């Protein structure tokens, strides 16, 4: 029997976070906003290398406000990655716009620049209004912004980067979160750092950031009484959770290093196993290694990702397939896109393994033993 369930990416919190929360509580700033919120925004903006950051209740809120800031609304199309979590597409729907899904690069799983270019040619030739492009930094690997941004500029379409999974990653030496007109981070409980629930909008545009803050606080006018000329949202991060985020941010590099250590362990474990590769394109130097997944070619390996998942579940170890592409989701049946089958193949072949920075050496040994036992039984 196991000594407790091993999760994919549980929160990594300790004494630093406890002290920060207690200090924020004792300060009296329990209501939303407060000094910890401002400090968290400054620290994150400095880390990413952009002048403005807006702390929010979730990454989804950041995507919604980012799209609104770009003027996206009904009658427009927003081009985005098919292989992503539902929040990316949901935020587009919140605005009244239509998501248009782009399939994956076969190596990284991120948005295919070639398919993006073809989609924009098709949409603009048909006279459709393309409000934004939302690339997704999948599992902590930045999208190919070196290719995507010139394409977007050529077609005159702004980019909102969904960097929810990629804090601490980079692309050609530039931090994830610094690309596009704006970018969005998530601090959900399973991310590299967490504020329990939370997110952040990052931008170089002061007006864009100010407008996001305005709408995130119910679009309240700066008068003594409650005055509203726009419909706003309750999207601000609380001061207590911002204090937690500040403590987490101080440990970010160490937590990323631990996730890379776990990935190296999986590389070693699966080295030489026929039909199995680590899903990251073979070069994870600029990744944050948020989650490590394997791709299993059953025709070569002789076993399926589901079989390994079942074996891990029997040892009380969590695993999960890659994101089910949005164009395959029941809620988006009939949605348009440019699909070549790549993301569907990755979904069928992929399995994500425990990758959390709080994973103990004993837990790592349990995971490796369970995988080794399964491979030895084939």
Tell me which residues are annotated as active site: 191
Query: What spatial distance separates the first Cα and last Cα of the chain, rounded to whole Å?
Result: 22
Is 228 within 8 Å of 218 (Cβ atoms)?
Answer: yes
Is 192 within 8 Å of 357 (Cβ atoms)?
Answer: yes
Is 273 within 8 Å of 253 (Cβ atoms)?
Answer: no
Cβ-proximal residues to 267 (8 Å cutoff; 6+ apart), any chain: 278
Among residues 132, 148, 216, 218, which one has the least CA distance to residue 182? 132
DSSP-assigned beta bridge partners for residue 183? 161, 202
Strand, helix or coil for residue 175:
strand
Among residues 91, 92, 100, which one has the least CA distance to residue 60? 91
Per the structure block, which two tokens stand in for 164? 């929810």
b/e code 11-33 from CB counts within 10 Å (16+ = b): bbbeeebeebbeebeeeebeebb
């Amino acid at each position: 029997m196991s000594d407790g369930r091993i999760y994919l990416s549980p929160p990594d919190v300790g004494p630093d976070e406890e002290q920060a929360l207690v200090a924020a509580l004792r300060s009296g700033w329990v209501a939303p906003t407060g000094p910890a919120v401002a400090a968290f925004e400054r620290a994150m903006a400095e880390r990413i290398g952009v002048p403005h950051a807006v702390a929010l209740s979730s990454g989804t809120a950041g995507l919604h406000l980012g799209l609104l800031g770009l003027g996206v609304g009904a009658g427009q199309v927003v081009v985005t990655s098919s292989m992503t979590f539902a929040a990316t597409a949901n935020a587009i729907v919140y605005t009244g716009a239509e998501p248009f899904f782009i399939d994956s690069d076969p190596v990284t799983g991120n948005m295919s620049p070639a398919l993006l270019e073809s989609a924009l040619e098709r949409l603009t030739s048909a006279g459709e209004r393309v409000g934004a492009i939302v690339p997704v930094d999948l599992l902590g690997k930045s999208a190919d912004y070196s290719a995507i941004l010139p394409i977007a500029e050529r077609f005159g379409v702004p980019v909102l980067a969904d960097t929810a999974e990629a804090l601490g990653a980079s692309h050609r030496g530039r931090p994830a979160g610094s690309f596009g007109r704006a970018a969005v981070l998530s601090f959900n409980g399973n991310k590299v750092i967490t504020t329990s629930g939370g997110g952040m909008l990052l931008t170089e545009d002061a007006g864009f950031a100010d407008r996001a803050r305005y709408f995130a606080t119910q679009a309240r006018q700066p008068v003594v009484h409650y005055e509203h000329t726009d419909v706003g949202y309750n999207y601000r991060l609380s001061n207590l959770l911002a204090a937690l985020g500040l403590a987490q941010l101080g440990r970010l590099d160490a937590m990323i290093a631990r996730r890379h250590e776990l990935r190296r362990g999986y590389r070693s474990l699966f080295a030489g196993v026929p039909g199995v590769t680590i899903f990251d394109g073979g070069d994870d130097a600029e990744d944050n290694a948020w989650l490590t997944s394997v791709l299993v070619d059953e025709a070569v390996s002789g076993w399926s990702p589901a079989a390994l998942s079942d074996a891990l579940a029997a040892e009380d170890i969590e695993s999960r397939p890659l994101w089910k592409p949005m164009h395959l989701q029941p809620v988006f049946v009939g949605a348009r896109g440019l699909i070549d089958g790549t993301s569907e193949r990755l979904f069928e072949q992929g399995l994500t393994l425990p990758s959390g920075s709080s994973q103990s050496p004993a837990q790592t040994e349990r995971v490796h033993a369970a995988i080794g036992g399964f491979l030895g039984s084939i």
